[in-house]
Amino acid sequence: MLKIFKSFGGYVQIPKAENGCWINVVQPSQDEINRIQTEFNVPADIIQDILDVDERPRYEVDEDWSLIILRIPVESPSNGVPYYTVPLGIFRTENLTITLCSAPNEVLPVDKPALYRGQGLLVHDDLNFVIKLFLRSGSTYLRYLKQINQQTALIENELEKSIRNKELNKLLKMEKCLVFFITSLKANEIVLAKLRNALKKDITELNEDLLEDAIIENKQALEMSQIYSDIQSGMMDAFASVISNNLNVVMKQLASISIILMIPTLIASLYGMNVPNHLEDNPWAFFFVILISAFLALVGIIIFRKKDLF
């Protein structure tokens, strides 16, 4: 989907590009990719790089344009893992700014494109717009991390009373999400550092403060991801042992039940043999066998209970 806005933040949508406009492209079709390449003069290799889900964040500057690629978090329950990251490209020229992403996201939501409506001011500074995208990305990371922590707590409660691997697999998916986040946040941190060094002389005081906030937000998200990842790694090892221990307890109980049930079976087998047993002519023989079997089984249960085996 391709939308053109008169200014940054998405207040007024216009049909054609003009000077100072912002073009937001999310999950583009082939026709939209061709339009970006021909009408807005975006090199084809740059478009391919941005749409590559494995592309690393970077900052490039040419004579006529500059390119910033950062990785942003995306929620996708049907993708195998609840959260992953994708590249977001920011292509800037003297006349326009293009943001391009291969997947719908909350950093630049295509259905609600206005980013700063609460401030009541239009954003005319493209650098200010870029820095605020980093800020939105960092806050989105932090929100998703809180959701991951909440889901992990629920999985932990299930694992405490489970002997299956289903919950452990869920925990593994959470761990994958954190690995994606850590890798992306580290790369974004490098891009932010390069951006600060490249713009050190020309940056305004407002943008400098915003850039520092973006760096702090990214660092906070990175530290939280690393902490959660360390906790989950230890938790997975611990709960793998818990699952194994639960299985051992179940097997011990089953073995105890088997031994208890073996006692009546043994008595019935002995008195069921086709040999004299001194009870073959007794009309109460069947009840005697049942009584003896029940008594010995009860004795076995008492012994097993005292030894904490049942």
Which CATH number characterizes residue 111's domain? 3.30.460.20
Per-residue pLDDT at 122: 53
* Phi-psi category of residue 81: left, alpha or beta, with phi > 0 → left and psi -120 to 50 → alpha: beta
In a domain, residue 32? The reply is: yes
Domain annotation covers residue 183: no
pLDDT confidence tier of residue 23, bands split at 50, 70 and 90: confident
pLDDT of 119 over the 70 cut: no
Mean pLDDT value of segment 30-35: 88
Q: What is the pLDDT of residues 130-145, one digit of tens each?
A: 888 888 888 899 999 9
Q: Is residue 268 within 8 Å of residue 254, measured between CB atoms? A: no
Q: Look at residue 70 in the predicted model and tell me its pLDDT.
A: 92
Please report, for the domain that includes residue 292, its CATH number.
Answer: 1.20.58
Measured between alpha carbons, how far is 187 from 11 in angstroms, rounded to an integer? 31
Residue 80 lies inside a defined structural domain of this protein? yes
**Can you give the pTM of this predicted structure?**
0.75
Rounded mean pLDDT of 112-123?
55
Q: How confident is the model over 193-247, as pLDDT tens digits?
A: 888 888 777 777 787 888 888 899 999 999 999 998 888 888 777 777 777 777 7
Residue 207 makes CB contacts below 8 A (sequence gap 6+) with 125, 127, 128, 131, 199
Residue 36 lies in a domain: yes
Domain total for the chain?
A: 2
> Is the CB of residue 47 less than 8 Å from the CB of residue 37?
yes
Q: In what order do the strands lie in the sheet with 58-61?
A: 2-5, 21-26, 96-101, 83-92, 66-75, 58-61
What is the pLDDT confidence band of residue 262, given thresholds at 50, 70 and 90? confident
Q: Which of 60-74, 182-196, 201-215, 280-294 has the lowest mean pLDDT?
A: 280-294
**Contact predicate 17/98, CB 8 Å:** no
Residue 107 lies in a domain: yes
Q: Report, as an integer, the average pLDDT of 114-128.
A: 61
Asked whether residue 107 carries a pLDDT value surpassing 50, the answer given is: yes
Per-residue pLDDT band at 310 (split at 50, 70, 90): low
Classify residue 178: in a domain, yes or no.
no
Q: How confident is the model at residue 120 (pLDDT cuts 50, 70, 90)?
A: very low
**Final residue of a structural domain among 102, 124, 146:** 124
Alpha-carbon dihedral angle through residues 189, 191, 193, 197, given to the nearest 10 degrees: -170
Last residue of a domain, one of 67, 92, 124: 124
Q: Domain end: 100, 124, 148, which one?
A: 124
Say what the pLDDT of residue 219 is: 92
Q: What is the pLDDT of residue 170?
A: 79
What residues make up the domain containing 105? 1-124
**Residue 5 host element (H or E):** strand 2-5
Residues contacting 231, CB < 8 A, separation 6+: none
Residue 185 inside a domain? The answer is no
Q: Span 164-179, mean pLDDT?
A: 79
Q: What is the pLDDT of residues 175-196, one digit of tens each?
A: 888 899 999 999 999 989 888 8
Instruction: Work out the pLDDT band at 123, boundaries 50, 70, 90.
Output: low
268's CB contacts (< 8 A; 6+ apart) are 289, 293
Q: Which amino acid is at 37?
A: Q
Residue 187 domain-assigned (yes or no): no
